[in-house]
Structures are given as structure tokens and as C-alpha cells.
Structure 1
Amino acid sequence: MTASLRQAAVDLDAYRANLDLVREWMDPVELMAIMKADAYGHGLEPIALAAVDAGVRWIGVLTVLAALRLRAIGVDEAVRVFTWQHAPDLDFRDAIDSAVDLGVSNVPELERVVDAVDHRPARVHLGFDSGLHRDGATPEHWPDLVAAALEAQRAGRIEVVAAYTHLAESSDDEDSASVAAFDAAVEQAEDAGLDIPLQHVAASLAGLERKEFRKDMVRMGANLFGIPGADGVSAADLGLEAVMTLRAAVAKTKRVPVGTGVSYDYTYRTATETTLVLVPVGYADGVPRLAQGRLEVAINGKRYPIAGRVAMDQFLVDVGDDDVRVGDTVTLFGTGEHAEMTVLEWGAALDTIGEEIVCRIGARVPRVYEGHDAEGHVAEYLRGER
């Protein structure tokens, strides 16, 4: 550990290895590396620079603000940055001028994009709602969006880059029906005279499991961070590597007698005289308050249960008579190679998914970048030179 009481170590070599593996799986289809939610909690700028250094030419982020962060650190227009969730009052001018690709889901949104065009046409991806009902034009409103896009493109105001949708991943049959609806929508657009150069449909799970859904490009997020979404499938099963390891340093130790109540509500009492260890990570950092009985942490190659309620800033661990000292490293989750739980095990224990675990790790936990890819452009960024 460093002097920091807590840290999330981000292994850029592992991210690069996952990128290379997933691109091999998807070949010859293009890969869009998804980096929403601050790159799933790993840090947008370093992850994006590592991806660009690895040759990635499509990046997906949720908002225009995130896309402009990437342009500001030198991710140039050779890398396409796609964004799809827009505030109702967003002024699209900076996005258009910075060649940010814009997902558009309805006619009013397209009109706002067109009104913001000045020196160059806006790069637009038309969203179709194939059944997830979060984004995209419904089948009823799709013809209107297509007609408006065709008019704007003929006027030189936009360039239609792609059509896209997102699948519910509910069942094979329902996903197949959704893709069939999307295919019909694309055919309808092309029959109306609108050329659709690219199509992207599948995200991490569908892209992995349904080769026929890959179209021209697959949007990959969780797999790139070593977090496969398939039930019962570990990262190791797929050859993926965990990218984030969450660590802390033992802050205090205390010897207590049998029957000692521990933390709020005394939901845990010691069975024998024992040593309690204070770990300075709490629910403000992303460790759930109700982790007792569900999560264990690793110290010196051995797992120990969380004892009592997790507090805002810390929790306690019962280590018995073992020799655990202040400053020893506590690994909350990681690769699993040193007895610690993995992020997928955390997800299973908490009845959620690994993506939620890494995304909820709080901002006060410093991200520390490790590996060969922490050199070059990433190092320049970390030194404040980009």
C-alpha cells in the first residue's frame, strides 16, 4: 500500500489485454469501447488514452460533456466519440464543432441539433426503440425521424452515420424479435432514400453470445473491464482479466473480550476474545452498509468476514488471534489470486452485478494506475501535460 488509507488500483495492462482479446473475438467487426460512468468507475481520461494508444477508434460515452473532456485531453477526430443522452436544454454547438457523434431519438431532438449547426454538419446516429423503451424512436415515430433526417442531410446540415438500438437481453427469442424490428426499420429508412452506412445493435453480452447481432460494430463495456455479464461465467472462464483492485490499509487494531458488540446496532458479537481490525472504507466509498454476512476481505492471504454494520467511513473485521498489524494491506476485491473476492463474487453476494460494484466506488477513493500502459499518453495526462 501507499500512504493512502484506501485506493482503487487500475491495471491498464489488464485493460489492454481485454481489449486485444475482445477485438480478436469480434474480428472483423468494429469495436466501440464504452466508457460511460467515468469508465465504469475506473477513470475516463486514463482509460480512454490507454484505449487510443491500443488503436481503438470508436469510444462511447453517455454525455456530450464527457465527450468534450476527451477532446480536451487530445483525443482527436480520428477517434470517433459517440454520445446519446442529452439534456433537454443542451446547446449542441460545441459537440458539433468537436466532431462528437450524436445519438438522436426523436424529431425535436434532431431539430435542436440542426439549429446548432454552423461550420460543419453534425454527425448523427439515429436511435430506434426495438423494445428496451429507454432510448430511440418507436416504430410509430421512426418514419418521422427518418424523414426529418433525410431533409436535414440533403440540406447539408447533418451526416447520418449510423442507425442503432439497444437490446433488453431478456431472452433469445425476444432479442431476436427486437433485432428483426430494427432490421425492418433500417430497410424502411433505406426505402425512403436514406442511406445508413453503419449499424450497431449489440452490447457486451449480446455481442459475446449472438454473433449474428454484431452488425457493423459492437459496443463493449463491461467485458473490457474484466466483468462478464453472462450468469455463472467468470472472467477467468473467458480469459478476461480484472482491471480494478480495491485495497485499504489497516488503520487500527483492538483486542476485545468475548461477547463484545461490534459497530452500530450490535448486529455482531464476538464469539471469543479476539482482535478487531479497523478498515477505513465505508458506504461513502461504495461498500454496502449491509455487507455483514455477505462479504469477506483478504489480509495476508486469508479471508475474514466483515464484523457488524458498515459505517460511512469504515468497517471492522474479526481476525481472531492472527497477527494483523496497522498498515497491513486489506484487499476488498481484485483478481482473486491472493484469496480476495472478485467483483463478480461481490455482485453475487449482494444480489447485483459487477458493473454496479465498480461504478459505486466513491470519488474519494484515489485511482492509482499501474502497468506498462500507465506510460506514454496516460503518464502525460497524469502529470498534467495533456
Structure 2
Amino acid sequence: LVEDIITGLSRVNSFFVIARNSSFTYKGRAVDLRQVGRELGVRYVLEGSIRRAGSRVRISGQLVDAISGHHVWTDRFEGDLSDIFDLQDKVTESVVGAVEPSIRLEEIKQARMKPTDYIGAYDLYLRALPRFYSMTREGFADVRRLTNEALSIDPGFTLAKALGAYIRSLSVSQCWHEPDDTRVAVRMAREVLADARDDPTSLRFAAQVIAYSAKDYETALDTIERSLLLNPNSAQGYTGSGWVNAHSGRPPVAIDHFHRAMRLSPVDPEKGIALSGIGMSYLMLERYEEALAWGERALREMPNYGSSHRVVIMALVKLNRPDEAQAAARRLMEAFPTYTLGLQRQINPWRDKVFAERYVEALGIAGVPE
């Protein structure tokens, strides 16, 4: 089990993992985790225990900050010894999937406490992430500024370039865009594809831009597949894959990948984006009751995400609930007063042109202006 977890963590490019021979020297010893951190030269330590009672087994794990000593993440898993291999696979997937976002969020907290005058390119990137998650016009403007600053320090920092491309692409959907955003986003994303073939996070951002803004679906699918091969336990990678597959006209695959994302990271800051994607995918499958339920859930999770408003509107129109659809359209326009059907036709990220026409038609029926 430990070897499987080490192997899985080693495939995540955003941090390094101490080899098993070094970490196993502490097996069965009562040691201070701060001492372990100092001796191995690591910031975080993952430890766990296995307890057995008859045919039942309980596995516990915790991720500890080796400097402060506080717990970053904890969880436990129970199962039967008759299914030990299935349980082992479940634990490995869950631990590897949880550790990456937990460390990323912890590093964001650390970056927030550093003086801005002395912050490096990577810390600027980390400071940009929570501003993206805020899903506000002001937050998106901060992401542009911070990623631009990071690139001024290191023009070859593809992770900052990938996030900069993605925020420009998503800004168009949110009506927070600048006139040249689509062209610039596509250019930046293609530069990332050329320079970051082995960085799963950069590839994930680039794939979404290539699907949404460039409408180059095959390249986007190939790119997100490579991202997931490089890091098969990335919740946000699966969220990105869900949207790439939705835009590429593959809603069943999209739904599966959104669900996998939420299983890997149930309280992920991008959860609202995944929920909205499930709703959008059910719209494509013409399963409107389910689309409405997921769209409403997405709005509760992330009220400022424009896609979720549009999921609810179309579902209500198709369910022949015009008064509610019109009320939902008014809420959309209050949140995004410059949104129009003309802009939606211009964006049109859907490979399925029939769905794209139904989508715009439903929004118009609900009262979204031309």
C-alpha cells in the first residue's frame, strides 16, 4: 500500500517525493515529524496506520506540515480483508488525489503571508489562484496582473502563462473580457503546448482554452488526455477534462470525469465549475430535470459562475416553466448585464451545432436580449 501511494505521488510534477528506502527507515519508530522533515529535507510528511479487527481493517492517513506541526489533511478508510486489493486501490487513489490540492491550498496560505516586494514568480502564481476561485470581476483582474508580473520575472514560466491564458478565455464567458482576449488566450495556450509537454497542470489549462476559444477539439482532447496520464489523480485535471469533453460533444464522458473530480476532492475550490459542467452535459443529453437539479446545486456552490445560470435557464425553458425561466434570465442579466445572444453566438464553444442552436434559442425564449 505504501509503495503504491509513493508511486502515485511521484507522478505529480508539482512536488517531489522522498524515495521509499529513505522513508522506510522511520517505519515502526516513534519520531517527531518535525525531525523527519529536517532530516529528509521536506516540508510535508504523510503518515498513516493500519488496524485490524477480525476480517475488518481500518486505514488512517494524515498529512502534516513538518515545520509548524499542524495537520493539513486527515482521512480514514475501512473495508474487509476479502476485498483488500480493492480497498488498497481506493486508499491509494483517495490519498494521492487529496494530497495535491491540500498542499496547493497550504502553499497559497503561505504565499499570502509573504511581503509582496520580495515575492517570486511561483508565489505570484499561488496568489493568483484564490483570486481565480473568487469568481469575481475584481478577482479575474488580479489574476491577469499577478500572472503578468510572474511572467515579467520569468518569461518561461509556463504555469503562469497557462493560467493567464485560461483566465482570458473564461473572462469571455463571464463577460469580464477585454477586446483581444480570445486571440491572446489561444496564442498563449499554444505556446504552453509547445513548452510544457510534461506539466499536467499547464496542459490542463491549455486544453480548456484550445477547446473553448480555439475550437480545436482533437488537439484539446489529446492534450487533456496527456495531462491525466501525467497525473491520473488530479481532481482539477478531471474537472478540466469534463469541460473539454463537453465542448467536444462527449457528454457521457464529461459527466463521468466531473464525478471523478468530486470524488477525488469533495470540497475542491473548483467544485462549482464541475457541478455546472454536469448540468450542462445533461442539457446536451436532453435530460432536463437532472440538468436543472445540477445547475441549481452549482449556483448554490458558486453563485457568480455564469454557465450555471444558463444551465438553469435552458432547463426551465425545456421543462415548460416559462415564468421561472424568465426570472432566472433576469438574475443572469443582473449579474452579467453585458451578456447577449450575439455574444453567445460569437463564443459558441460547442462542437455539437444542433445543441448550440437549441442553447441560444432557449436563452432567447427566456428573455436574454439579442
Question: Which of the pair has the greater relative contact order for Cα pairs under 8 Å at 6+ separation?
Answer: 1
Q: So what's the TM-score if we normalise by structure 2?
A: 0.28
Q: TM-score, normalised by structure 1?
A: 0.27
In proportion to residue count, which structure has more strand?
A: 1
Structure with higher Rg: it is 1
Whose helix fraction is larger, Structure 1's or Structure 2's?
Answer: 2
